Structures are given as C-alpha cells and as structure tokens.
Structure 1
Amino acid sequence: MFSYILKRLLLMIPTLLGVLLITFTVIQFVPGGPVQQYLVEAKGRTAFGGDAGNAMGYRGAQGVEKQRLEEIKALYGFDKPVPERFVRMLGQFARFDLGKSFFQHKDVWQLIREKLPVSISIGLWTFFLSYLISVPLGIAKAVRAGSRFDTLTSLVVLVGYAIPGFVLGVALLVIFGGQLQWFPLRGLTSSNWDTLSWGAKVTDYLWHIALPITASVVGSFAVITMLTKNTFLEEIRKQYVLTARAKGLSERRVLWKHVLRNALIPLVTGFPAAFIGAFFTGSLLIETLFSLDGLGLLSYESVIRRDYPVVLGTLYLFTLIGLVTKLISDLCYVLVDPRVKFD
C-alpha cells in the first residue's frame, strides 16, 4: 500500500501543474484584466467602458499616461513576462502562500477563513441531512421493493432531483419568505445576534438556515437513496443471505448484521469526497440567492473582477483538497473491505 500511496502522491504534482497551467494560460487571453479593472474603478465608470454603445469592450486605459500605466502594471506584477509570472506563482504555492487579493487588499488565506463559516454551515447540514434521510429511506425501499411505498418515494425523490436548487430556492423565498413571511430573506443570523441568549442564538441560526439548506439538500436525496436501495437489493439476492435465512436467523438480524455491512461499502467509501465536496461545490447560486457571503460567492466575484490571486489561490487549494480526498476515498476501500488489494 505504501508504494501505491507514494505513486498517487507523485501523480498529484503533474495534475496540479496541469490545472494551474491551463487556468493561467486561459486568463491571459481574458479581456479586462486587473489593470483595466483598476483604471475603470478609479474613474468611477462601469467595468465595460461606461457607455451602452461600447458595452462589450474595455476602454479603461484610454486617456492614461504611459508612465502611469506602466506603474500600475508593475503594481500587479504584469511588467514581468508571462513564463516568469507563472514560475513565481508556483514558487509561492509550493510554500502555501496563496498571495494577496488585488482589490480587497487581504491575503487569500484570510479571505478563505472569513468566508469558510458560511460554507461550513451549508456543507455540514447538507451532508448530514442527505445521509441521515437517504440511507434509511433507501433501506426501507429495498425491503419493500415493488410496493406502493417504493413507487411513491421514488417519484418524490426523483422530482426533487429534477428541480434545480436555485429554482426551489426562489420558490421558497417567494412563498415562505415573501408572502407568508415565516422565514428571513437573507443572511445567516439576525442583526442583533450578539445581544441574544445562547438558546435564542441557536433558534435564530436555524431559522435563517432553514430555507437555504432545504434548497441545497432536496436535490441530493435521489442519488444516495437509489444507490442505497440498489446495493441492498444486490446483496439481498446473494447466496450468503439465503444461507443465513436457512440457518433460522431472523430477517432483522440478516438485514442489519450481514446485508448492511456489505451494502454500505460504496456509501462509506464515498464519505470523504461527499463530506469535502459539500463545502466547496454547488453553493454559489444558493449563496447569491440568500445573500450568504461564502466561498462560492467569493470565487464568483473574484472571476468577475479579475482578481487573479484569489482565483488561482482558491483553485490551487480546492484542487489539492480534491486530490487528497480522492486518495482517502480509494484507501477507504481497503479499510472497509479487506478483500481489496492495490497490488
């Protein structure tokens, strides 16, 4: 296993380099870079030139002295050749220095720490609710396969899967936030959060997080539920289950002691990827819709403003976390099922 882990760790290096190289190359050809953005903001004009007749072209550099333009380029490091900038960036990332934001004047690490609580809130609730509801539901569907309960629950979870999270979020906001006014429309906590008691803080937090979590979690029920059901059905039909029943074991003991252990292998091995992925994926539209300032919104705004240190820094961090998580998921197969051998 040691040689396998070492080989996978070494393969992460070219993967990271490839991701960073492709992204770095693409952003060199994107119009309206940080220099133009700075000039536009300095003039108090819109990011697309300031007039409707030229809305598709950047004109921020017009009317600026050449010397001043060169100073601004030097400020952002664009006075250096592209290969040199790429090598310098790799040197920073090797030291886990993600750089400093062009426009927010903060280290990228600091920005990630500031936005992480929102993404953790959404990610943890989405992950735990998905598994706590979907796994028992999938087991119940497998035991009652072909029944009316199985058909109705399949219809419900597939309808939830077909509705995009942001569409459901809009409906929840309009109905429960706007018309009925049962839930707040934005934010993770109320403005008087600091003055509330401990119990009131918990209630206020759950009150604010109810709608965004509902919009995030409904679509994830179908995959886990159907995977649990299908793996259970596959195990129930195997010979060892028939043997256990023939020995006189109760159906409850057969299901929970023998079938469950083998049926949950695909789910358990997917825990690391699902747990980490809940923090960093799929939250942009939900965060924007409910005015939650998290990592998804940070990444989107950084792309729009051409804040390249934040874009590349978060990309590097998320890619590294994804590769490590994938390795852990693969190693979980050995821990859960000793029959698996990497050699």
Structure 2
Amino acid sequence: MGWFLLRRLGSMVLTLFLISIVAFLIIQLPPGDYLSTVVGNLQRNGQTVDPAELVALRQRYALDQPALVQYWTWVSNIVLHGDFGQSFQHNRAVATLLAERLPLTVFLGVITFLIGWLVALPAGIYSAVRKYSVGDYILTTVAFLGIAIPGFVIALAFAFIQFRYFGTSVGGLFSPQFVDADWNLGKLLDLINHLWLPVLVLGLAGVGGTIRVFRANLLDELHKPYVVTARSKGLSERRVIARYPVRIALNPFISTIGWVLPGLIGGEVIIAKVLGLQTTGPLLLQALTSQDMYLAGSIIFILSALTVVGTLLSDLALAAIDPRIREGITT
C-alpha cells in the first residue's frame, strides 16, 4: 500500500506539472501579451496608461523574457507567493477573486455530492431489489426527468415557485439585507433558506444518473454466485445485500469522486447565471469570453489540480473498501 501511494503521488506531481504547462499555454493563446491586452482595454475605455506601471508589470511577470522564463516566473509566483497574476477585467489580483468564489463553489459541490448520494444510493438499492415494482417505476421516472430536463429550466421553475408562493428573494444565497451583514443566526438561517434551491437544481441530474447506474450495477451483482453462497449460509437478505453486492456496485462511483467538482463547474455555469450565484463557473466564463488570461488559466489550473487530488483520494477509498484492489496493490 505504501509503494502504491508513493507511485500515485509521483504520478500526481507529474500530472500537475503537465497541467501547469497547459494552463500557461492558455494564458499565452490570445494575440500579444498580458500588457498589450491591458493597454488595449484601457485605451478603449478612454483611460491613460502609466508607463512606469507598465514597466513594473513587465518585470513582475517577466514579459520581456522568453516563454520558458515567463512560465517559471508564473509557476514560482504561484508556489512561493500564492500570486496567480492580475485580472485585467476586474483590475484585482486573481488570488483575491479566487478566495471569494472558490470556497462557495467547493461548499456547493460537497453539499450537492453528499445529499445526492444520501438520496440516490437508497433509491438505487430499492429500485434494484424491488425491480419492476410501482416504486421502481416512480424512481425511474424521476431519474429520467432529472436527466432529461435542462438544469436552467428547473432553476427558472423553482425560482418562480420560491418567489411567487414563498416570498423568498431569488438570486444569490442571501437576502439583500444579509449580503453585507456580519455572520449571525439570522444570516445563517437566511443562507439555509436560499441554499436548498441551487443544491436541488445542481443535484437533480446527478441524482437521476446515479440512481440509474447504481441500479444497473447492483442488478448485475445480485444473482452472482457469491451472493447465492451468502444467502445459503443463512444471512438475512438485508445483511447479504449491504455487505456484498452493494460494496461492489459502489466502485464506479467512488472511482469518479475526483470528477465531482469539475463536473459541477461545467454544469453550473448557466444555472449559476440564472440563480445569481457567486461561484467560479460564471467567473471562468467571463474570463474566457473577455480573454482575461491569468484568471482563466488560474481557474483551469486549480480545478485540474483538485481533480488530480480527488482522483488520488478515490483510489485510496477504493483500496480501502474493495479487498480485490488491495490484493492487486500489495502483489
């Protein structure tokens, strides 16, 4: 297990290095360099450019040096100083923007993931064990609706219901009077009152897909010889299902834990725009459309790094729950 962990950490470092190269290439894709983009935007807005400030920025990001030196400057600034560069669109440090948006994105991702599993796994087990029952047909219908209906349509429908029938303001995660208020019990309750809508909308499609895939995996396992043997030993049906086939059917989901956050970012951009959520999805969309190079490259780099770390954790979780994988690692 220790050797496996060392090998995975080594491959993770190599993957992060390659990801940093791709993110840097994204920064370099627009014509000209960072300063030419800044100057062009300022001039279009009728603002003057301070030559001394341009010289300082050019030295800060080594823009007068070869691409290899620029890459090393960018990476070393991130690793040593947490400096991801400057966002010309927002005229703020990228690290500051990420500090405001990324925690909410991760929080929504974790909450959506946990609630989705808490709903989807029992539903998938029931749907597989009670195959072709009335409950199975109901869960299947709900799952297909969650997969088929676009998330932004669901967001619009629930936002209307929330505002029309419950009188709750839509847009963002706080009512206007709590946006700038200090944290207290009222602000926490207001957050909970607004949080259910994005979690429901973001998680509905994932829950539907999880129910369908988990049901199919579990149906494949329920009649295999090891399950029949467990039943012949006199174990209760509930214990047989929970101890053996469910653990095996979980493997595909645990192996994809690392994809949860990037999948959320990719799927929540339009939903976040509809609901007014201050997450990294709309920020990345704005950065790409406005060629805000350092902001776009930094978000892509961080999300990719989180994917790599999440994949490592999912591999370790698989090894912990599946003895076949542990045997493969130790041999």
TM-score, normalised on structure 2? 0.82
- 8 Å CA contact retained: 1:34, 1:306: no
Which consecutive unaligned segments of at least 5 residues does structure 2 have? none
Match of 1:52 in 2: none
Larger relative helix fraction: 2
Choose the corresponding residue for 2:117, options 131, 137, 141. Answer: 131
**Would the aligned equivalents of 1:184 and 1:207 in 2 still touch at CA under 8 Å?**
no
**Corresponding residue for residue 240 of structure 2:** 254
Contact 2:26 2:293 in 1 (8 A): no
- List runs of 5+ in structure 1 lacking aligned partners: 47-59
Q: 1:197 to 1:9 in 2, by over 3 A?
A: closer
SS in 2 for 1:112: helix
Name the residue aligned to 2:58. Answer: 74
Given that residues 62 and 69 in structure 2 are in contact (C-alpha distance below 8 angstroms), is that contact kept between their aligned partners in structure 1? no
CA separation of 1:81/1:254 partners in 2, compared to 1, >3 Å: closer, same or farther?
closer
Contact residue 70 and residue 79 of structure 1 kept, 8 A: no
* Structure 2 counterpart SS, 1:292: coil
Superposed CA RMSD: 3.4
Query: What is the identity percentage for the equivalent residue pairs of Structure 1 and Structure 2?
Result: 26
Residue 185 of structure 1 pairs with residue 170 of structure 2: yes
Per the alignment, residue 106 of structure 2 pairs with 120
Count of equivalent residues: 324
Once the two structures are superposed, residues 94-126 of structure 1 have per-residue CA deviations (whole angstroms, 9 ceiling, x without a partner) of 436343324345443333222234213421331
Kept in 2, the 8 Å contact 1:135–1:225? The answer is yes
Q: Is the 8 A contact 2:152 2:270 kept in 1?
A: yes
Contact 2:27 2:294 in 1 (8 A): no
* Contact 1:98–1:313 (Cα < 8 Å) also in 2: no
2:144 alignment partner AA: L
1:323 to 305, 308, 317: 308
**How far apart are the structure 2 equivalents of 1:73 and 1:257?**
60
Alignment correspondent of 2:321: 336
Distance in 2 (alpha carbons) for counterparts of 1:22 and 1:116: 21
**3-state DSSP class of the match of 2:190?**
helix
**For 1:311-336, what per-residue CA distance to the aligned partner results, in whole angstroms no more than 9, with x for missing partners?**
22333222222112212212222211
**Corresponding residue for 1:39?**
39
| Equivalent runs, 1:196-275 vs 2, <5 Å | 198=185, 200-270=186-256, 272-273=257-258
Aligned partner of 1:82: which letter?
A
Query: Partners in 1 of 2:323 and 2:241 — Cα distance?
Result: 21
User: Rg bigger for which structure?
Assistant: 1
Q: How does 1:303-322 map to 2 (within 5 A)?
A: 303-322=288-307
- Does structure 1 conserve the Cα–Cα contact (< 8 Å) formed by 2:258 and 2:311? yes
1:290 aligns with 2:278: no
Tell me what 1:56 maps to: none
**Aligned AA (1:4):** F
In 2, Cα distance between equivalents of 1:210 and 1:32: 44
The change in CA–CA distance for 1:147 and 1:298 in structure 2 (over 3 A counts) is: same
In 2, the alpha carbon distance for the partners of 1:261 and 1:337 equals 8
CA distance in 1, matches of 2:84, 2:189: 38
